[in-house]
Amino acid sequence: MTDVFVVSDNILSPLGWTTAENFTRLKEAVPGIRLHGEATFSTGPFYAALFNQELDQYLSRLLPDAGDLTRFEQLLVASIRQALAGSGVAASDPETILIISSTKGNIPLLEAPEPIPDLKNRISLFSSAQRVASYLHFAHRPLVVSNACISGLLGIITGSRLIQSGRYKNAVVAGADLISKFVLSGFQSFQAVSPEPCRPFDKDRTGITLGEASATMILTCKKDHLSHPIIKVLGGRTGNDANHISGPSRSGNELSYIIQKVLRDASVSAQDIDFISAHGTATLYNDEMEAKAISLAGMDAVPVNSLKGYYGHTLGAAGLVESIITIASMKEDLVLPTMGFREHGVTKPIHVNRSLLHTPLEYCLKTASGFGGCNAAVLYSKTQQRP
């Protein structure tokens, strides 16, 4: 089977404009989550990881010719452009495909004070993807992946499979989401938003914290632009537990099945896994389900973390942001702590990491779950040897 490598990446978040800036802040235990009181978002104060005015200034400098690209589209363009720089991959190459992942896209346009011309078209995810592809001169029409909170991982899986099929040599996978009153109120209506910064896997967890971000991962089967250490996408799987429109399976069997299929595909055992980057939303049911799935897969002792205490839940960007940080962790052999975690709060004794852990990382697993019962897992490996 064709090998798929990660050749470049970028994270644009409230913690920084590059992956390196983001990882430095995480190592310093700096969260992006703050208390906000904007009446345009909510009738009361709420915690979230939101961009500030510095983002708009940054985007105006980086994209002076952005024209009528929306803030959401500009975020995608900015992240993709930075990931492409120095990657050896060209957007205009006929062997390159663009994949966009998002759950909300231009939904904030619904809240514009004045009517938006052609709103139905502008709010379409594919319309946004086409605008981004056209601005960056991609050779092909883009693909759009939108499957709740596994969208980012599903984009990576899709890109990997397209490369392995021989259809393309490179895949640029980018995801973004912004928070608006519409988005926040939707989660508030579920009573799922925590009144404090979220606390994944903690016994006192009370729900999610939302966040904004854009992220890009560039995949390739070409070997001429790889830098050391070399990161490979060993495989990925997705499935659905068909349990409930918003609640995950209570057993964890379905996510565990996905994890075990990914390991079997890659001929890797549970004992080989060095670290798990969990979805870890800090809701009562998600964290319990994930803990059961990890335990059922035979990985109770494997260090686990959730990044939601730093970034909040970045929705369609989450799988990409957290995969990129997983890769940065692999390169430095460093597992980050789970911010907000104090006391074990799930029924299975999984190893939730609570401090900076220096340990060799060769095989790392990223999991995600979302509304509608969707589950996904992607396995990454690291080597110093030239393929």
Band the pLDDT of 15: cuts 50, 70, 90. Answer: very high
Could you give the CA distance from residue 203 to residue 217 in angstroms, rounded to a whole number?
34
Nearest Cα to 157, choosing from 145, 169, 168?
145
Give the relative orientation of helices 253-265 and 284-296 as an angle to the nearest 10 degrees: 40
Is the pLDDT higher at 224 or at 264? 264
Band the pLDDT of 305: cuts 50, 70, 90. Answer: very high
Please state whether beta strands 213-220 and 170-177 pair in parallel, antiparallel, or not at all (unpaired).
Answer: antiparallel
Domains of the chain, start order: 5-220 (3.40.47.10), 230-383 (3.40.47.10)
Helix or strand (DSSP H, E) at 240 = strand 230-240
Please state whether beta strands 334-335 and 357-358 pair in parallel, antiparallel, or not at all (unpaired).
Answer: antiparallel
Nearest Cα to 311, choosing from 8, 19, 6?
19
Q: What is the pLDDT of residues 47-81, one digit of tens each?
A: 999 999 999 999 999 999 999 999 999 999 999 99
Query: What average pLDDT does range 156-163 have in this prediction?
Result: 98
